[in-house]
Amino acid sequence: MIKHWRWWLTLAAVSFMVGSPNPSMDLDRTATWNEAWSAGLVRVVVVPDLGVMQLDGGRVLGYDVQLLEWWGRRTGHPIEWQYAASVHEALEAVRLGTADVAVGPIPEEGMLELVATKAVRSFRWVQVGTQSPDRNAARTPTKKAKKSARKTKAKPKPRIHIPGEFPKPLWLLEADSLNVVPAGPTMFRFAGLDTAVWVMPDYMARAWGRRGTRLAKGSFHWAMRPGDTVLLAELNDLVRGRASRNQRGALAQKPVPRPSDRDSLISPYDALLVGHSGWDRFTLNALIFAESRFNPSIVSPAGAVGLMQLLPSTANRMNRGPVDLYNPRANIKVGIRYLRYLDLFWKNRGVPNDQRLPFVMASYNTGPAPVERAMQRAKRLGYDPTRWFGNVDQVAKGPGGHYARKTRDMAQQYQGYVQSWRRARLRTLDPAQTVVLKTESK
């Protein structure tokens, strides 16, 4: 008996040390979140409608986007931003697995097989706007028209608009007294309140200075896949938990700005930042915002001047003579010459064209010498010296070490916002206006 007992004890000890097959450890490494990947990248697709996201002097603002950025910094979650021109487009990105979370003015009823977070915003739906006058109504009715009107049993209900590709909330589906129809615009920010009646949240109506007629209570949520339970718990804690209460309160105090046709402009200098071969206005705007916050008269402690923070000695060398660095046009012209010089500098050191931009950005901030030393150090440590991200940036020190990532991320946010804004806007225009908008510089 003792012999058998010892045998069973040995078997139990070996089983404990070796372990048994555990199906849960065979992780399906897809977009699904779970405990093993809870600290990983979060792909967020944004519908940059009113209050969700806007640009102000180069700063990326908006309740939803700023709240998620705060969460990412606090928890260490890196965020990959994507952009959609409509709620339907954002929800489809999550369904297809190209994004983890859809963010924007999303009613819970439109999510179908997706799951919703707790309410990100609670509000009142209001009816606001002006009904287009009937051209025939102002005319004196004829006898025939009067006779026809008497035969008419009921007048048609006035049309009330919501954005195109926007899922109707449940109360709208049940409201038989309202003739609600999808409009051409796919965002509330393009509502034409001077010529049409719209249903929208009260906080959006206040952006136009309108109060409107109250209709029903409502809420907007973020959407994700049902299997992402860990991410859902984290975001529910973000939108309703105690830890983020002060941050939510501070963001909620900021008014939603009045929408404008100029909302797609990143800075007052957009017109000076287009038409430069090899340099798009998104990257240039990101660089200028990081350098000077678009202040043309700023001078750094080191003596760098103006929008692109150029040292007079560098500017004179690039310009082959004196230059007024307080003049925005001259400053940008010389700054782009310096960027081209840095591009050629790294080309001559074997950095391929598709990898050169982060080297240029880092060396613009610190000068090429520190970046070249980091390149040589990376090579000695076994990294690829011709690639920045994941290689040279692992050994680069000082401000230049993170400058390339900072400007890249900012440029991507600018580009995503502007392009989704333009795609949503194009759906609101007649063909003649569309041609004009398409010919604008990118």
As annotated, the active-site residues are 291
Do 207 and 258 touch, CB atoms closer than 8 A? Answer: yes
Do 339 and 286 touch, CB atoms closer than 8 A? Answer: no
The phi, psi pair for 197, rounded to 5°, reads -100, 135
* Residue 202 to residue 102: CA distance in whole angstroms: 22
Residue 305 is classified by DSSP as B
Collapse the DSSP code of 74 into the 3-class scheme (helix H, G, I; strand E, B; otherwise coil) and give the result: helix
C-alpha count within 13 angstroms, C-beta hemisphere, residue 390:
3
Q: Which two tokens stand for residue 166?
A: 């926007």
Which regions of 20-120 does DSSP assign to beta strands (E)? 42-46, 54-56, 59-61, 79-83, 101-106, 115-116
* Residue 259 to residue 54: CA distance in whole angstroms: 9
Pairing of strands 213-224, 121-129: antiparallel
CA dihedral 65, 69, 72, 73 (to 10 degrees): -170
For residue 134, give Cα distances in angstroms to 38, 137, 181, 286, 287: 57, 5, 18, 48, 51
Q: Which two tokens stand for residue 324?
A: 């007024």
* Residue 344 to residue 322: CA distance in whole angstroms: 23
For residue 133, give Cα distances in angstroms to 160, 194, 198, 330: 14, 11, 15, 51
* Residue 104 to residue 187: CA distance in whole angstroms: 10
Do 270 and 291 touch, CB atoms closer than 8 A? Answer: no
